Amino acid sequence: MVNMEKPMDSKVFLTALRASISLWRKQGKRGVWIKLPIGLANLIESAVKEGFHYHHAEPDYLMLVHWISESTTSTIPANATHRVGIGAIVMNDKRELLVVQEKSGKLKGTGIWKIPTGVVDAGEDIFKAAVREVKEETNIDTEFVEILGFRQTHKSFFEKSDLFFLCMMRPLSFDVQKQELEIDAAKWMPFEEYTAQQIVEKPGFYKCITDICLAKGRRMLLQKWVFLVTLWVLIISHGSADSGEVLGYGMPSPTTCVNDPCRPLLSPPAPSLSGYPSYGTPPPPSPLFGYPSYRGPPPPTPLSGYPSYGTPPPPPSLSGYPSYGAPPPPTTQASPSTPGQGCSPPAPVQCCLYGPPAPYEYLPNQNYSAPSPLPLSWFSVMVLSLSFALLL
């Protein structure tokens, strides 16, 4: 690319350009770009005579291009083909839409209200352009939320295609002040009044914008309902009990004890089994084969006067009990030396402030502390996940 900067006579430029083209072809160059500042417009005619044509123009320069290769087809890219525009949907909590009437354009003098629109500047982001256009036309500060949709049309502006992005904006201020240069009027309008306009009711671009707004409004309403249901579920799941209404679990916690050995007596006694008192030893099992319980079979009959297989003699009796005999049952508390059929439980020692309560009796627990909130149920987690999905 040749960037012309210094002033030059057109005849001198033409001679130098011809010599340069011959050299570039020998070097295998294929395309040549010449950037002429607006101050060197006198060189345009000389360049056009050598085969250059316009590529694009900007406020301060003109770009010319020429494909000098004779053996290949031109691959020079075309000029920019699209213009990018934005439209801003700004709605407050009263379901009022920010609208304007323009002083110029095809809607001038028609009384039609429209949303703020504009063109994205070179090097400007779409969301920044939306914020800027709303501020310029209505003096309302906004925050970009999302792109609701876009439209592509062709040959709409200087035979170029147009990309139009519809942006959802959140208002940060509400005092409307119209732009005197381009805007005839600006205000907050009820959405129903906006949709009642004739141009909006007809199929086309403006009706499409209205349909998108309605769909977005229904979605926002659904999000609010899901949010309220989620809060309700969370409140139900995390309800905490009143400590004054909580019942104990069988007996209150003891506050004063005499000694540690008394602690086992705090639990209620186990219910009686088969008619035997609790804490008592069950009776011996029924005799088997005519032998008394807990006794083994009698020794076998000796053969030829000899004990069979050398049966060992019975062990000596211990403490007055017969050999092979089971120990006597425990003695009663009244007479420790007298065998008994069972044993009565010892009298409970009143060692603590509270005695053992009756089985299955619930008493108020004064030492009870309220439990931590219940964990989230699967239903609340599901509803919460659904609400986040709808918010995306």
- Whether residue 194 sits in one domain with residue 89: yes
- Whether residue 184 sits in one domain with residue 139: yes
Query: Which positions are catalytic?
Result: 136
- Whether residue 188 sits in one domain with residue 103: yes
Tens digits of residue pLDDT in 243-287: 444 444 444 444 444 444 555 544 555 555 555 555 555 666 555
Q: Given a cut of 80, is residue 128 above it in pLDDT? A: yes
Taking the C-alpha atoms of residue 105 and residue 163, their distance in angstroms, rounded to an integer, is 18
Tens digits of residue pLDDT in 367-392: 555 555 545 556 666 666 666 665 55
Cα of 115 vs its chain's centroid, Å: 33
- Whether residue 90 sits in one domain with residue 49: no
- Whether residue 25 sits in one domain with residue 54: yes
For the four alpha carbons of 184, 188, 190 and 195, in that order, the dihedral sign comes to: positive
Is residue 159 included in any domain, yes or no?
A: yes
Point out the domain boundary residue: 142, 169, 201.
201
For the four alpha carbons of 104, 107, 113 and 114, in that order, the dihedral sign comes to: negative
Give the CATH number, domain containing residue 103. 3.90.79.10
- Whether residue 192 sits in one domain with residue 150: yes
Report how far apart, in Å, the C-alpha atoms of 39 and of each of 89, 165, 271 are.
44, 38, 113
Taking the C-alpha atoms of residue 143 and residue 133, their distance in angstroms, rounded to an integer, is 12
Is residue 318 included in any domain, yes or no?
A: no
Tens digits of residue pLDDT in 343-364: 455 555 555 545 555 554 555 5
Give the CATH number, domain containing residue 18. 3.40.630.30
Edge-to-edge order in the sheet of strand 61-67: 2-3, 31-37, 61-67, 53-58
- Whether residue 129 sits in one domain with residue 55: no
- C-beta of residue 152 within 8 angstroms of C-beta of residue 161: yes
Is residue 103 included in any domain, yes or no?
A: yes
Mean pLDDT of 119-136: 95
- Whether residue 176 sits in one domain with residue 91: yes
DSSP 3-state of 288: strand
Is residue 261 included in any domain, yes or no?
A: no
Dig out the tokens for 108 from the structure. Answer: 């001038």
Dig out the tokens for 153 from the structure. Answer: 């049309």
Name, in order, each residue with C-beta under 8 angstroms of 279's C-beta and a sequence gap of 6 or more: 269, 343, 344, 345, 346
DSSP 388: H
Tens digits of residue pLDDT in 150-170: 989 898 877 889 999 999 999
What is the residue range of 174's domain? Answer: 82-201
DSSP 3-state of 60: coil
- Whether residue 87 sits in one domain with residue 55: no
Q: Count how many domains the chain has.
A: 2
Q: What is the pTM of this model?
A: 0.54
Report how far apart, in Å, the C-alpha atoms of 166 and of each of 116, 145, 148, 211, 266 are.
10, 11, 6, 12, 76
- Whether residue 45 sits in one domain with residue 13: yes
Point out the domain boundary residue: 27, 44, 67.
67
Dig out the tokens for 230 from the structure. Answer: 């989620």
Beta-ladder partners of 65: 33, 53
Is residue 22 included in any domain, yes or no?
A: yes
**What mean pLDDT value characterizes the chain?**
75
- Whether residue 196 sits in one domain with residue 87: yes
Mean pLDDT of 221-242: 65
- C-beta of residue 114 within 8 angstroms of C-beta of residue 100: yes
Point out the domain boundary residue: 169, 201, 233.
201
Is residue 297 included in any domain, yes or no?
A: no
Is residue 271 included in any domain, yes or no?
A: no
For the four alpha carbons of 130, 134, 136 and 140, in that order, the dihedral sign comes to: negative
* The residue type at 8: M
Name, in order, each residue with C-beta under 8 angstroms of 22's C-beta and a sequence gap of 6 or more: none
DSSP 3-state of 46: helix
Q: What are phi and psi of 131, to 5 degrees?
A: -60, -45
- Whether residue 59 sits in one domain with residue 166: no
DSSP 91: B
Is residue 51 included in any domain, yes or no?
A: yes
